[in-house]
């Protein structure tokens, strides 16, 4: 039995056999195939070729629109490579002659040509190999996507072990038999971790080399509460964890009577307790929880795992469904925050190799460059507003220029819809997320332009403390109790309340029962919590006294380190 400690990313216990996912980014493994599977392998490769042609068609349209005809010729060069005998003949030949998988045959063929290019004197021609690799990468990604799809073909309950999982990978896991997952990389508030919580899949991340230590078929206990993975446990350990699973089920049931009860403190201060929606499957749960609204509708799921963006109709349908289900309670729809670790296949982000993707083209920065996508989303949100109470929320705002840009687009969208005779007469409030320290510090000058504020502590902490939220090596520095974070939160809440503006918090800090006393003491108007933790947080709020928590915050604001703040909380039994 081996115990490996990592970072608890999503609570719960999973017990099952391991399924180790190959790491597509780093190695392409040589897999020898039996003769009878070779034809199917060539077919799989041809399907990837077709999908790559479709990618190029989609990319051409975009390049034509943004950069013009001249640049669109680049796509023709890629098409020629894709039709070259190297791809169409050499790769299938290698599959059939060497009895290997398509990924391996492709990478071998590419490497052979690379060596030819290396020998060329002419720099122009030598550099053409980048085009070749670009096409090769696209092909590989289609091949690997097919093998990822095979996760849904696994027929036994298993614990997934991988080097890394992207949010786009995680989105599909609820349709599989995967009971939980463990990865080498990752941090507690990565979007992958947040999605795992939404889908109620226990997860442990930041385990450094678990993908090399576990073999498919090993027995695994994954403890998402403690952040621990046990490889090949003995029968006593398994029995202990089965008892723990039962206990936590009972604890969850004990919270049931809190549905429909207000989130009110013992001394009578009311808080709105809303829910975050990350995937459409959660809507039913949120309605059943009788949450006070959806405080954060993360719309990214609509944009991931596809090469063509969602149409206006598709978006209207998704938003209306939520709005109708929640009516008359509000639904805060955040425009897509793509970029960072949420990489889409729409081909709109900066270079995939952005050195600091979290500091790069993300959220409103990206959408203000792709105003067609932005406007379509704003129009969809406005259209959904005819069915109930809708607010628009803008992610990653750092300057007043961005707010003005958004307001212009919103006004255009409104005018267009009116001209088309569509009903968007109700006022749709506009809010910004406070996730970047510059926005927190400049908030006073932003407030006249907006109706409300939602604090995204996940990013606010990362940018205030300069700690990458998905990097397991700095997890110990990612600290919601850091006095700098508490001071910024206090500044934001006071600035909003001075101008009678609504302020909510929607980051993971709201789902942490240890941090909630501080948020209550800060006097935010609303907490938007992951559905999984909703009742638990309600229980926490209902056991607190606001006046006492307010004093606690006053003390925390004088603290010089987070240890002092944690001690102050512990002294009050919190």
Q: Which of 60, 90, 103, 459 binds Mg ion (CB under 5 A)?
A: 459
The stretch among 36-44, 328-336, 421-429, 433-441 that binds Mg ion (CB under 5 A) is 433-441
Q: Give yes or no for a contact between 328 and 288, defined as CB atoms under 8 angstroms apart.
A: no
Q: Give yes or no for a contact between 340 and 365, defined as CB atoms under 8 angstroms apart.
A: no
458 lines the binding site for ligand PEP (CB under 6 A)? yes
Shortest distance, position 163 Cβ to ligand PEP, whole Å: 22
Alpha-carbon distance of 539 to 533, in angstroms, equals 10
The tokens 């969602």 sit on which residue? 310
90 lines the binding site for ligand PEP (CB under 6 A)? no
Q: 65-74 contacts: CB < 8 A, separation 24 or more?
A: 65/372, 74/131
507 lines the binding site for ligand PEP (CB under 6 A)? yes
In angstroms, the first-to-last Cα distance of the chain is: 35
Shortest distance, position 72 Cβ to ligand PEP, whole Å: 34
User: How many Cβ atoms from other residues are within 10 Å of residue 316's Cβ?
Assistant: 20
The stretch among 152-160, 438-446, 449-457, 551-559 that binds Mg ion (CB under 5 A) is 449-457
Alpha-carbon distance of 213 to 260, in angstroms, equals 46
Per-residue DSSP letter, 304: S
Q: Which is nearer to ligand PEP, 101 or 190 (CB)?
A: 190
Alpha-carbon distance of 414 to 408, in angstroms, equals 10
Shortest distance, position 105 Cβ to ligand PEP, whole Å: 39
Shortest distance, position 322 Cβ to ligand PEP, whole Å: 17
Q: Which of 94, 219, 272, 298 binds ligand PEP (CB under 6 A)?
A: 298
Alpha-carbon distance of 218 to 235, in angstroms, equals 14
Q: Give yes or no for a contact between 101 and 41, defined as CB atoms under 8 angstroms apart.
A: yes
Helix axes 91-98, 102-118, angle to 10 degrees: 120
Shortest distance, position 479 Cβ to ligand PEP, whole Å: 15
Query: Could you say which of ligand PEP, Mg ion, none residue 457 binds, taking C-beta under 5 to 8 angstroms by partner kind?
Result: ligand PEP
Alpha-carbon distance of 59 to 53, in angstroms, equals 10
Query: Could you say which of ligand PEP, Mg ion, none residue 506 binds, taking C-beta under 5 to 8 angstroms by partner kind?
Result: ligand PEP
Q: Give yes or no for a contact between 307 and 345, defined as CB atoms under 8 angstroms apart.
A: yes
Q: For the window 438-457, what string marks contact with ligand PEP as x by the rule CB under 6 A? A: ------------------xx
Alpha-carbon distance of 497 to 503, in angstroms, equals 8
Q: Which of 167, 456, 517, 531 binds Mg ion (CB under 5 A)?
A: 456
Q: Mind telling me the catalytic residues?
A: 191, 506
The stretch among 126-134, 158-166, 212-220, 432-440 that binds Mg ion (CB under 5 A) is 432-440
Q: Pick from 534, 477, 485: which is nearest to 510 by CA? A: 534
Q: Which is nearer to Mg ion, 385 or 398 (CB)?
A: 398
Shortest distance, position 13 Cβ to ligand PEP, whole Å: 25
Q: For the window 184-213, what string marks contact with ligand PEP as x by the rule CB under 6 A? A: ----------x-------------------
Give the count of residues interacting with ligand PEP (CB under 6 A): 11
Tokens describing residue 65: 């629109």
Alpha-carbon distance of 151 to 21, in angstroms, equals 9
Shortest distance, position 456 Cβ to Mg ion, whole Å: 4
Q: Pick from 7, 10, 339, 22: which is nearest to 192 by CA? A: 10
Q: Which is nearer to ligand PEP, 184 or 459 (CB)?
A: 459
Shortest distance, position 435 Cβ to Mg ion, whole Å: 5
Q: How far is CA 257 from CA 203, 260, 342, in A?
A: 28, 8, 37
Alpha-carbon distance of 484 to 472, in angstroms, equals 22
300 lines the binding site for Mg ion (CB under 5 A)? no
Q: Which residues contact 247 (CB under 8 A, 6 or more apart)?
A: none
**What DSSP string describes 129-172?**
HHHHHHHHHHHHHHHHHHHHHGGGG--S-EEEEES---HHHHHT
Tokens describing residue 276: 């975050």
357 lines the binding site for Mg ion (CB under 5 A)? no
Q: Which of 90, 274, 292, 337 binds ligand PEP (CB under 6 A)?
A: 337
Given the rule CB under 6 A, which residues bind ligand PEP? Answer: 194, 296, 298, 337, 435, 456-459, 506-507
């Amino acid at each position: 039995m081996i115990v490996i400690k990592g970072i608890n990313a999503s609570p719960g216990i999973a017990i099952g056999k391991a399924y180790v996912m190959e790491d597509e980014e780093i190695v392409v493994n040589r897999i020898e195939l039996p003769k009878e599977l070779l034809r199917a392998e060539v077919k799989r490769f041809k399907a990837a070729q077709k999908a790559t042609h479709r990618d190029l068609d989609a990319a051409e349209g975009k390049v034509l629109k943004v950069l013009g005809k001249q640049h669109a010729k680049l796509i023709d060069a890629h098409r020629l490579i894709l039709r070259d005998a190297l791809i169409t003949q050499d790769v299938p030949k290698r599959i059939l002659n060497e009895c290997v998988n398509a990924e391996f045959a492709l990478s071998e063929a590419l490497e052979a040509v690379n060596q030819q290019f290396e020998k060329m004197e002419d720099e122009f021609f030598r550099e053409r190999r980048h085009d070749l690799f670009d096409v090769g990468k696209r092909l590989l990604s289609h091949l690997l996507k097919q093998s990822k799809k095979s996760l849904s073909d696994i027929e036994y309950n298993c614990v997934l072990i991988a080097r890394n999982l992207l949010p786009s990978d995680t989105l599909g896991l609820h349709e599989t038999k995967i009971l939980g997952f463990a990865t080498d990389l990752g941090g507690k508030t990565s979007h992958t971790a947040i999605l795992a919580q939404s889908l109620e899949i226990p997860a442990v991340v930041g385990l450094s080399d678990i993908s090399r230590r576990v073999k498919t078929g090993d027995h695994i206990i994954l403890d998402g509460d403690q952040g621990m993975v046990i490889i090949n446990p003995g029968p006593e350990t398994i029995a202990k964890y089965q008892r723990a699973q039962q206990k936590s089920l009972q604890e969850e049931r004990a919270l049931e009577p809190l549905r429909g009860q207000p989130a009110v403190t013992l001394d009578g201060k009311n808080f709105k307790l809303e829910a975050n929606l990350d995937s459409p499957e959660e809507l039913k749960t949120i309605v059943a929880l009788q949450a006070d609204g959806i405080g954060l509708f993360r719309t990214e799921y609509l944009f991931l795992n596809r090469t063509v963006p969602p149409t206006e109709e598709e978006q209207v349908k998704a938003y209306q469904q939520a709005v109708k289900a929640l009516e008359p309670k509000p639904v805060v729809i955040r425009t897509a925050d793509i970029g960072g670790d949420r990489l889409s296949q729409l081909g709109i982000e900066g270079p995939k190799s952005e050195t600091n993707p979290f500091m790069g083209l993300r959220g409103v920065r990206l959408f203000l460059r792709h105003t067609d996508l932005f406007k379509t989303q704003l129009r969809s949100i406005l259209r959904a507003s005819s069915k109930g109470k809708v607010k628009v929320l803008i992610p990653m705002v750092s300057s007043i220029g961005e707010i003005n840009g958004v307001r212009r687009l919103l006004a255009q969208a409104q005018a267009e819809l009116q001209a088309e005779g569509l009903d968007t007469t109700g006022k749709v409030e506009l809010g910004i997320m406070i996730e970047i320290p510059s926005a927190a510090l400049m908030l006073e000058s932003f407030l006249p332009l907006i109706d409300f504020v939602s604090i995204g502590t996940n990013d606010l902490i990362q940018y205030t403390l300069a700690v990458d939220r998905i990097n397991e090596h700095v997890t110990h520095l990612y600290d919601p109790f850091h006095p700098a974070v508490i001071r910024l939160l206090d500044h934001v809440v006071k600035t909003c309340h001075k101008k009678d503006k609504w302020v909510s918090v929607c980051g993971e800090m709201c789902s942490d029962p240890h941090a909630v006393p501080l948020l209550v003491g800060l006097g935010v108007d609303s907490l938007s919590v992951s559905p999984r933790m909703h009742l638990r947080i309600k229980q926490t709020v209902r056991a607190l006294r606001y006046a006492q928590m307010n004093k606690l915050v006053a003390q925390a604001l004088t603290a010089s380190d987070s240890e002092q703040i944690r001690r102050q909380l512990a002294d009050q039994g919190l």
